[in-house]
């Protein structure tokens, strides 16, 4: 069982264009659809599509369109009423797969609502294999929210606590790292910011540099780093080693949710007992499959092609270029 917690979920609207987006012009869409979203919600959608039990925890009223969408899709979830509408985000996709996203902040959560959410997460996490803390934080929530949940979870359950994965960015991710999660899943930009590397593009173009940056985080207590790098593939670093996964070249239909699907593929494979390199292989296959699908559609495992993924070990020395 995998539990996901998305404190800042969204109703994701994806608009498809038949030509590149031009600022200041009126353009007609060729497609448009809405789905319940947020990183943890997307991960649960991908897990359920592959038959792996999961539960999405999120703030939201019973009649909110996001929770109604989850019920209609048959995604197991647990909402906590907050008396406010969940935010609505927009993604615009161009024919070459370029995606422009506009995300709004989300409703303000009071201190009482924050504590109630933590209590709900701790209660539902009992007996789970993984707890995934996913996405941005809504207004009013302190940056150490994920770190606090991780520490409380381990105090409450001790050795029986689920493993913790964090998929976030900025200060919330930096704070979460101090609680030594078992896994983090940054993209290239998030990893660069987290490790103080000034050029995110250069980082993404150099898998060995990605591995060396990730090694610093593992040395600091993080169990593993799964860095998704878009067309450049994905890198996994653990205490046992570092690996690079690459997929065949493709034209993406939409990159919305590809990183979330990668994490879902990794967790699905890990729970099945696969090795670290094979779990990375499935993560890359899931991400590529998601990118080939329209909008925020997530793939089932039988829609992925792990056999097409090449995984190689990375030699990470020297380390002088990682400050």
HEC profile for the chain? CEEEECCCCEEEEEEEECCCCCCCCCCCEEEEEEEEECHHHHHHHHHHHCCCCEEEEEECCCCCHHHHHHHHHCCCEEEECCCCCCEEEEEEECCCCCEEEECCCCCCCCHHHHHHHHHHHHHHCCCCCEEEEECCCCCCCCCCHHHHHHHHHHHHHHHHCCEEEEECCHHHHHHHHCCCCCEECCEHHHHHHHHCCCCHHHHHCCHHHHHHHHHHHHHCCCCEEEEECHHHCEEEEECCEEEEEECCCCCCCCCCCHHHHHHHHHHHHHHCCCCHHHHHHHHHHHHHHHHCCCCCCCCCHHHCCHHHCEEEECCCCCCCCCC
Contacts of 17-22 spanning 24+ positions with Cβ under 8 A? 17/92, 17/93, 17/94, 17/95, 18/95, 19/94, 19/95, 20/94, 20/95, 20/96, 20/98, 21/92, 21/94, 21/98, 21/100
pTM of model > 0.85: yes
- Show pLDDT as tens, one digit a residue, over the chain (323 residues): 999 999 999 998 989 999 999 999 999 999 998 889 899 999 999 999 999 999 999 999 999 999 999 999 999 999 999 999 999 999 898 988 788 999 999 999 999 999 999 999 999 999 999 999 999 999 989 999 999 999 999 999 999 999 999 999 999 999 999 999 999 999 999 999 999 999 888 898 899 999 999 999 999 999 999 999 988 889 999 999 999 999 888 776 666 678 899 999 999 999 999 999 999 999 999 998 888 876 667 888 888 898 999 999 997 655 444 33
């Amino acid at each position: 069982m995998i539990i996901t917690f998305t404190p800042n979920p969204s109703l994701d609207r994806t608009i498809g264009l038949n030509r590149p987006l031009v600022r200041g012009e009126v353009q007609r869409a060729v497609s448009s659809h809405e789905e319940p979203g947020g990183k943890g919600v997307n991960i649960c959608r991908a897990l359920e599509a592959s038959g792996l039990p999961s539960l999405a925890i999120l703030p939201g009223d019973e009649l909110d369109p996001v929770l109604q969408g989850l019920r209609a899709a048959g995604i197991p979830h647990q909402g906590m009423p907050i008396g406010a509408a969940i935010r609505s985000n927009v993604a615009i996709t161009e024919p070459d797969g370029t995606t422009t996203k506009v995300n709004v902040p989300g409703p303000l959560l009071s201190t009482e609502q924050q504590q109630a959410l933590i209590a709900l997460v701790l209660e539902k996490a009992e007996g789970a294999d993984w707890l995934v803390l996913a996405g941005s934080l809504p207004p009013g929530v302190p940056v150490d929210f994920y770190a606090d949940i991780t520490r409380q979870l381990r105090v409450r359950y001790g050795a029986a606590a689920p493993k913790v994965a964090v998929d976030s960015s900025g200060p919330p991710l930096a704070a979460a790292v101090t609680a030594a999660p078992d896994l983090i899943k940054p993209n290239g930009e998030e990893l660069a910011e987290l490790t103080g590397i000034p050029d995110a593009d250069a980082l993404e173009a150099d898998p060995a540099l990605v591995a060396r940056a990730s090694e610093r985080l593992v040395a600091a207590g993080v169990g593993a780093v799964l860095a998704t790098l878009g067309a450049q593939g994905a890198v996994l670093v653990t205490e046992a080693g570092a690996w690079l996964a690459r997929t065949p070249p493709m034209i993406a239909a939409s990159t919305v949710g590809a990183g979330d699907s990668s994490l879902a593929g990794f967790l699905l494979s890990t729970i099945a007992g696969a090795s670290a390199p094979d779990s990375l292989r499935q993560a890359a296959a899931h991400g590529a499959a998601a990118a080939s699908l329209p909008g925020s559609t997530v793939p089932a495992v039988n829609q992925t092609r792990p056999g097409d993924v090449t995984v190689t070990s990375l030699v990470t020395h020297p380390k002088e270029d990682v400050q």
